[in-house]
Structure 1
């Protein structure tokens, strides 16, 4: 790989240094401006320091092992933590983590070629071939999950025959799919998320991986509403939409995974963030990271916790009135009065 490609990857990883450390150095923890762990092979301990924010000592993403003198960047962290040898494998892993498209052999020729698989351009073309969800299998699917508040869901689209490939060598199939637009804080498209559906819309398609994302995802989200001073953020689309049934006027964002929720970017107008928690270890980790990041940014962070595994399970099992009652006491009083939908 050319040197500038490696430098670009290292820079992108450094912009998301904490998310990288939480994923590849999970035996460590954050301490101030650093991630502390035993070594870059993810051993428990306190001898290795990874810088998370810029400082007078240098840019983020650099590490030093005080015990051995070993030092490097986050590409080295990925290599050592996974035991990789070839740099191509390290670069491929980094791109997968960042959800970046693979590097083509000649960018000058890309105008005459199909969009690279998994790229932002491929996401844009997929959304252009899709249509609004009302009256489609996506509406059937969401209503089957108890989600009936569908206004303001322009970020969701329907594709009747979306390509699905089980693996790199398997035959291509087509299934109906819910297509979600992933955007940055300025509303620019950066990627897309696909949920393949059963032909009658009564559930997900009977395939190994019915959910897949593509494009540039880290820090971005599937958005519902325009955030002002208050918003909520969660992992899954269905989970976020379930809570939105109780608070249809609060801006919300689905980050698509726990790791991406932990790294979601904050709108400049945001003063209070409600963290939509999933009841699992990954959800706990995302909650803790997001609260810490929000606090450091001067944003009040409040956790909304479901009774079951997530808020969609709560909605399906208990109904909207019970879900609304369960979050009422978790909201700030002013937000409860402003946003919480009153049961009929």
Structure 2
């Protein structure tokens, strides 16, 4: 039997306190209400969830006095779990309610599906809004496990404790994830990139990523845009991976950088008007070589000087992890313009 959103919301309302204790664990009961900071389970008291039917309204309805937002317990599940598609929200609700498998396919209207199109820029913005800053989280553990210590100007990186992952086959799973915001030249968020992480911490087997088939996926509008670290001036660096560019910033901490997330997207990045010299941090593979060739053609046409930075191993994170920061500093020092050494490079003590 199919279950509609209204039916699932009614079923959840009958167990309103149990839903709150599970998904809003940072709150507490006060009389007939559950008090918490917001629907994303932030500590506080501005949001209140009605736990039983009263003349003022039914159980399960909530209001955030700080923002004016309101909704039902399906909205609580969506926000607290960081879900995008209604099919995932309903699956989580059905799992909580322990519904038989035959009842776990909801009836979804066209209007409901249109609220958060899968993979859209809007869905990316919602995912980012449900995540939090990285200090003290598994993201910091992951990056430090990859020898990355340059965590300044990393506001573009976020942490989500239970980000949904949909494998090619089998049920949807949840894993902690590093969420990276993709922005255009004006800073507008156009997409997001997810790196699912191993909840057990960093291990060499998977380099800290979750043991799943595709631990990295992007969503939204990516072409021309990037994950950015620092504010661009006349000089900046660009490469494919987030880890690659953060590794470079370990020894070039003052140089603005962007991660385009793939070789194809690297070749298509848009140039800031102030840019005069672009360092292209390539990966040592055929795709990286092709991206560099295309990007050099584009920089030449735009009157921008392009200089290619080549790692000794497969990429600059491999250089950092396996050779060390001093070796990476030596590798990069001879490849950048002399005037940029004193301007951007952190010299060894």
Is this a same-fold pair by TM over 0.5? yes
Runs of at least 5 residues in structure 1 that lack an aligned partner in the other structure: 1-108
Q: Tell me which stretches of 4 or more aligned residues in structure 1 moved more than 2 Å.
A: 109-114
Question: Where does residue 288 of structure 1 map in the other structure?
Answer: 293
Q: Please list, as runs of the form range in 1=range in 2, the aligned pairs for 1:182-261 lying within 5 A after superposition.
A: 182-202=182-202, 203-261=208-266
The equivalent position to 2:278 in structure 1, one of 253, 264, 273, is 273
Per-residue deviation at 1:114? 3.1
Classify the secondary structure of the residue corresponding to 2:176.
strand
Once residues 273 and 201 of structure 1 are traced to their aligned partners in structure 2, the CA distance between those partners, rounded to angstroms, is: 35
Per-residue deviation at 1:200? 2.2
Question: Where does residue 65 of structure 2 map in the other structure?
Answer: none
Question: Where does residue 332 of structure 1 map in the other structure?
Answer: 337
Classify the secondary structure of the residue corresponding to 1:162.
strand
Structure 2 length-normalised TM: 0.66
The count of aligned residue pairs is: 235
Question: Where does residue 176 of structure 1 map in the other structure?
Answer: 176
Per-residue deviation at 1:170? 2.7
Once residues 199 and 276 of structure 2 are traced to their aligned partners in structure 1, the CA distance between those partners, rounded to angstroms, is: 43
Is 1:262 paired with 2:263? no
The answer on whether the counterparts of 1:138 and 1:201 sit within 8 Å (CA) in structure 2 is no
Once residues 198 and 234 of structure 2 are traced to their aligned partners in structure 1, the CA distance between those partners, rounded to angstroms, is: 39
Question: Where does residue 131 of structure 1 map in the other structure?
Answer: 132
Question: Where does residue 149 of structure 2 map in the other structure?
Answer: 148
The answer on whether the counterparts of 1:194 and 1:212 sit within 8 Å (CA) in structure 2 is yes
Is 1:302 paired with 2:302? no
Once residues 328 and 276 of structure 1 are traced to their aligned partners in structure 2, the CA distance between those partners, rounded to angstroms, is: 13
Classify the secondary structure of the residue corresponding to 2:269.
coil
The answer on whether the counterparts of 1:196 and 1:204 sit within 8 Å (CA) in structure 2 is yes
The answer on whether the counterparts of 1:175 and 1:199 sit within 8 Å (CA) in structure 2 is yes
| CA-atom RMSD in angstroms | 1.2
Classify the secondary structure of the residue corresponding to 1:132.
coil
Classify the secondary structure of the residue corresponding to 2:312.
coil
Once residues 212 and 262 of structure 1 are traced to their aligned partners in structure 2, the CA distance between those partners, rounded to angstroms, is: 19
The answer on whether the counterparts of 1:127 and 1:181 sit within 8 Å (CA) in structure 2 is yes
Once residues 173 and 274 of structure 1 are traced to their aligned partners in structure 2, the CA distance between those partners, rounded to angstroms, is: 39
Once residues 173 and 115 of structure 2 are traced to their aligned partners in structure 1, the CA distance between those partners, rounded to angstroms, is: 19
Classify the secondary structure of the residue corresponding to 1:148.
coil
Once residues 238 and 327 of structure 1 are traced to their aligned partners in structure 2, the CA distance between those partners, rounded to angstroms, is: 16
Once residues 228 and 217 of structure 2 are traced to their aligned partners in structure 1, the CA distance between those partners, rounded to angstroms, is: 17
Once residues 112 and 119 of structure 1 are traced to their aligned partners in structure 2, the CA distance between those partners, rounded to angstroms, is: 12
Classify the secondary structure of the residue corresponding to 1:335.
helix
Once residues 291 and 242 of structure 1 are traced to their aligned partners in structure 2, the CA distance between those partners, rounded to angstroms, is: 23
Once residues 137 and 201 of structure 2 are traced to their aligned partners in structure 1, the CA distance between those partners, rounded to angstroms, is: 8
User: Which of structures 1 and 2 has the bigger CA Rg?
Assistant: 2
Distance 1:175 1:298, change over 3 A: same
Distance 1:329 1:110, change over 3 A: farther
